[in-house]
Structure 1
Amino acid sequence: MKKRVLIASVLGLFLAIKGQAQDATALKYAATITAQDLERHLTYIASDELEGRDTGEKGQKLAAEYLANFYKDLGLKGPVEGSYFQKFNLSSVSYPEVNLTVGKQKLVQNEDFIFIGDANMSRLKRTDLVFLGLANEENLKKVDVKDKLVGLWAIGSRAQTVVPEVMQAGAAGIVIVTMEGQANFDRMANWYKSLSGKGRLGFEQPTKQEPIFLVSSEKMSTLFQTPVEILKEAAKNNPESIPSQKVSYLVKKQNKVVPTENVMAFLEGTDKKEEVLVISSHYDHVGINSKGEINNGADDDGSGTVAVMEIAEAFAMAAKDGFRPRRSILFLNVTGEEKGLLGSEYYSNHPIFPLENTVNNINIDMVGRIDYEYQDAENQEYIYVIGSEMLSSHLKVINEYNNITYTNLILDYRYDAEDDPNRFYYRSDHYNFAKHNIPVIFFFNGVHDDYHQPTDTVDKIEFPLMTKRTKLIFHTAWDLANRENRTPVDGTNNRGER
């Protein structure tokens, strides 16, 4: 740690001595990034015609064509054997029939329980529902879980962290509580209900016979006919004291292939062309909700998508005028982010350019709005910066230098903490580059009332501020693409798995 601080300090001192000398060439092409152009592109990308750009759907395809045609007009290359599309298939998994009956209570899906597991059964299974409480070794010695449906009291935990050990102990399935309060559960149940007709998108995988049912703490109390407070105590000390219940359940699964595509354009560099800078955004959104309302996704992530377009245009114009970058640049608009960072995961597993030659990823996800934290601030010219100093001691300093030199935004690092409860670091596409030890920097404006709502529309975008943010990203990219040495990987990825 001391070494990294020293390196950053020396680099900072160097930049201070160098002074805030503006690069006239960079300034010239940054000036091509305008609020008018951003608004023009976003007005189409976030229009009703594109129906919320849901992955694999018509609107996502229209957006992909718009992006590809734009890059073609700029003279940028399609790097996938001449194409701008990296095509791949996802699997849409749905469960047309999920039944759960405990005792004489027949539970209703997305009201009494949410199905979050995976299974495909030919017939109804009957067994016991036993209470294990905490999924630890001591409790597993007290409760026989083999071939049983197991009740877990995992308040504050994530299902995937507590399920494996119980399934490995022989459980047939799990009924789990991860949150207190019926209201919290109801919000999640309503969200699952709105998605019930769409299926879960992901990469095709063998079926795991892991039926997992999420319930509220109150519902778990009802199922075991035991007050919540008693269940809480039993979960820690004596789970065997809670009487088991008779249970039956059935899960039927259906798979559908969903073709989709990442969109990318390539600008070859000069003397360092084997090294590649990736500038990314996701162009998908969440489509149409259960009420038939379009989620236009102007900020999320129409704003990042058109920012990448404008940055690409600035670099392309510079190249045409003889100012080609030293390093190559891949402009990457990924699909499937809203379904679990799927497009960037596919790219990182099937890279067009070797990952060892990928020097940095600059990721742009929501840069058009003002969030809760700044809505009443006197100075609202800010941007959140995430991940910039984890893997390289230089990247954060380079970005700060370009901000001081050109844009003078407030660079806010509050969401860059390892223990950020929002987990924003894990929720956008830079993650799939950082996990391969590629230094990343993620630009983000924070959340607001319109996040993932039909009200995330173009008329609410702060275009002058968005323009300034996009210019900062361009200047940082220009610097990274043209400096003598690539940013060193002298840090450790300490963020772990999603």
Structure 2
Amino acid sequence: MKRWFPFCAIALLSACNGDDASTITPIAQVAPISVSFDEQRFRSDIKTLSSDKFEGRAPTTLGEKLTLDYLSAAFKDMGLSGAVNGSYLQPVPMVSYTASEQQQVSLAGIDLQYRQDVVLGSRHDNNQVSIKNAPLVFVGYGINAPEYNWNDYQDLDMKGKIAVILVNDPGFAHPDEQKFNGKAMTYYGRWSYKFEEASRQGALGAIIIHDTKPASYPWSVVENSWTGPQQDLVLAKAQQDARVQVEGWITLDAANRLFDKAGLSLSALMDRAADSALNVELAQTASIKFANKADYANSYNVVATLAGSSQVDEHIVFTAHWDHIGKDDSKAGDQIYNGALDNASGTAGILEIARQFAKQAKAGQGLKRSLTFIATTGEEQGLLGSRYYAANPIYPIDKTVAVFNLDSTNVYGKTKDYTIVGKGQSELEVYLDKAAASQNRVTTGESNPASGGFFRSDHFSFAKLGVPAVFAGGGAEPLDETTAQYKAAMSNTMKGCYHNVCDHYRAEWDLSGALQDLAVYYQAAQTLGNNQHWPGYYADSEFHSLRPAK
């Protein structure tokens, strides 16, 4: 059974379900309108957005300006309205923190190499980080979860100390012992939570031990994603001051050297940390010094609306993040992280869906409810654009019916199944079940729930507020043997390309599966957009209290 996370203390959204939601059939019988997506146009959007000209689409760069212009022009051409007083652009106040590549990092007297052993940064406007002889404390998984009777910070005063933390949560290490949510990562396993909790505990710093299997990605992802400018939302001073002064990652090999120097076995402590809450003073210190700068600038979400015919104030939202991680001038050879799959493909996907709905509206077959399309900024830096929109919504959250999120579409051909990440959360999935069934497909959960996919993309910013939100697409079972052979070959080609320079557009991609998936979202939104049902979260979901299923 899923458990409550700290954010579920948010007030209940009592107005969310409507007065007569319990009497409404979850899926009204509405004849589907046929849809035919333009594959060449879809390809063209992916290819353009991920071209070298767009420089990897990092927020607050030239690549952002080109992307904003491209998306705004596309939505205008469709006839969708700019949702921000006629403009398509919602300003998102951001600050970019850049830690120097020349870092002096000594843990337990061991000098560590930046990028090779450790990647550190600071989310403070402080010019320089200078820490001398700060005590190091191993805090297990760095979790404080009363509902699990688990507190790795029990009886600790973390002031002036640096927390050393395991990635993921105890359920990953012992999935058969009914700890947390077993193999399926909870939010407590996410890096973002671990830095937040260390900050709440008053720690000076927090360093996560990278381990490929529980992290679900290799060290190269940390190196590529956590170096260079790191964007964040501009926070109130009190919130900013409460954050740890230094945060980042250390390789498993370097961590082993650290624990050996402390006369401890990291592997043995890992086993203990998975069995019960644990903290151990390492009797070692850290000295860290590097220059740090902060630059302030607005980035932008792109928000376009297609008004409904009668239930105009009720919005169904499509999201896809337009950003990627830009370019790295320090790299030899290819320096541009084009982000074709992640997430030019998802952005191109919401453009295709928007075009089809706009076309139907012009033909007099528009939806009763309104549709809003949000191309978000800063997803790669911690869901920044979606977090900002959720906190500063253009349309009220209690009038937001549902969110369909696209993040990396299927480039591996058609499938017999359809994957819903975090399956079992809300009634919104019933709409996907029905739409997938119309393609003779069955819905399944993700093959690797340990990766915590439900917490890693923009839909999560809305789920935290009780809006039913889904992240779905692709599948594990190819349609036929030919597709299976193609998938195996393309998977090998794409291996290691997540957050790497090889994620660029490929003309040989089979996008037929992606178009299948777009049609599932389209049909689900079409049905939901023409009824009065307000989907809610199931009783065993951590979001149930915010907007319960009836």
Using structure 1 for the length normalisation, give the TM-score.
Answer: 0.78
Deviation sequence 1:374-421 (CA, Å, 0-9, x none): x8xxx73543223565233xx22222223333x333433235xxx920
Return the offset for 1:445.
Answer: 3.0
Show the counterpart of 1:225: 261
Which residue of the partner structure matches residue 475 of structure 1?
523
1:165–1:232 Cα change, 3 Å: farther
Secondary structure of 1:37's counterpart equals helix
Tell me what 1:111 maps to.
116
Question: Shift of residue 103 of structure 1?
Answer: 6.5
Letter aligned with residue 248 of structure 1: S
Change over 3 Å in CA distance of 1:22–1:51 after alignment to 2: same
Residues 247-256 or 48-57, more deviating: 247-256
- 1:162-187 deviation digits (Å, cap 9, x = unpaired): 67777777765456646499xx9995
CA distance in structure 2 between the partners assigned to 1:46 and 1:180 by the alignment: 27
Deviation, 1:293, is: 3.2
Quote the residue 1:63 is aligned against: 67
User: SS of 2:46's equivalent?
Assistant: helix
Q: Measure how far apart 1:77 and its partner are.
A: 0.9
Distance 1:232 1:58, change over 3 A: same
Q: Does residue 310 of the first structure (1) align with residue 352 of the second (2)? A: yes
Q: Does 1:383 align with 2:431?
A: no
Name 2:541's counterpart in structure 1: 494
Question: Counterparts of 1:164 and 1:279 in 2: how far apart (Å)?
Answer: 28
1:369 counterpart (402, 411, 423) = 411
User: Contact 2:136–2:286 at 8 Å: present in 1 too?
Assistant: no
Residue 294 of structure 1 aligns with an amino acid whose one-letter code is I
Question: d(CA) in 2 for partners of 1:278 and 1:66?
Answer: 20
1:251 to partner: Cα distance: 4.6
CA contact (8 A) 2:99 2:121 kept: no
Pairs within 5 Å for 1:49-198: 49-96=53-100, 98-102=103-107, 105-115=110-120, 118=123, 120=126, 124-127=130-133, 129=135, 134=140, 147=160, 149-150=161-162, 152=164, 154=166, 157=169, 172-173=204-205, 177=209, 179=211, 187-188=218-219, 190-194=220-224, 198=228
Q: Which residue pairs with 1:301 in the alignment?
A: 343
Q: CA deviation at 1:49?
A: 1.7
Query: Structure 2 CA distance, aligned partners of 1:270 and 1:53?
Result: 35
Equivalences for residues 457-476 of structure 1 within 5 A: 457-476=505-524
Which segment drifts farther, 254-263 or 41-50? 41-50
SS in 2 for 1:359: strand
SS in 2 for 1:396: helix
Offset at 1:215? 3.4
Tell me if structure 2 keeps the 8 A contact 1:434–1:493: no
Q: Distance in 2 between matches of 1:114 and 1:403?
A: 42
Which deviates more from structure 2 when the two are superposed, residues 251-260 or residues 381-390? 381-390
Q: Tell me which moved more, 302-311 or 448-457.
A: 448-457
Give 1:239-278 correspondences, 5 Å limit. 244-245=283-284, 248-278=287-317
Matched, 1:435 2:464: yes
Following the alignment from structure 1 to structure 2, what is the Cα–Cα distance between the partners of residues 49 and 238?
Answer: 49
- In the alignment, structure 1 residue 414 sits paired with structure 2 residue 449: no
Offset of residue 467 of structure 1: 2.0
The answer for the alignment partner of 2:368 in structure 1 is 326
Q: Check conservation: 1:42, 1:298, Cα contact below 8 A.
A: yes
Q: 1:186 & 1:432 partners in 2: Cα distance? A: 22
How far off is 1:69 after superposition?
A: 0.8
Contact 2:164 2:206 in 1 (8 A): yes
**1:153 Cα deviation from its structure 2 partner:** 6.3
Relative to structure 1, the CA distance from residue 266 to residue 156 in structure 2 (aligned partners, 3 Å threshold; closer, same or farther) is closer
- State the superposition RMSD in angstroms: 4.0
* Count of matched residue positions in the alignment of Structure 1 and Structure 2: 460
2:66 is paired with a residue of what secondary structure?
helix
- Tell me the residue number matched to 1:451: 498
Q: Report the CA distance shift for 1:73/1:493 in structure 2 as closer, same or farther (over 3 A).
A: farther
Q: Distance in 2 between matches of 1:305 and 1:193?
A: 25
**C-alpha contact (below 8 Å) 1:304/1:365 kept by paired residues:** yes
* 1:36 alignment counterpart: 40
In structure 1, how many angstroms separate the alpha carbons of the residues matched to 2:244 and 2:443? 47
State the structure with more CA Rg. Answer: 1
**Alpha-carbon distance change, 41 to 93 in structure 1, aligned in 2, over 3 angstroms:** same
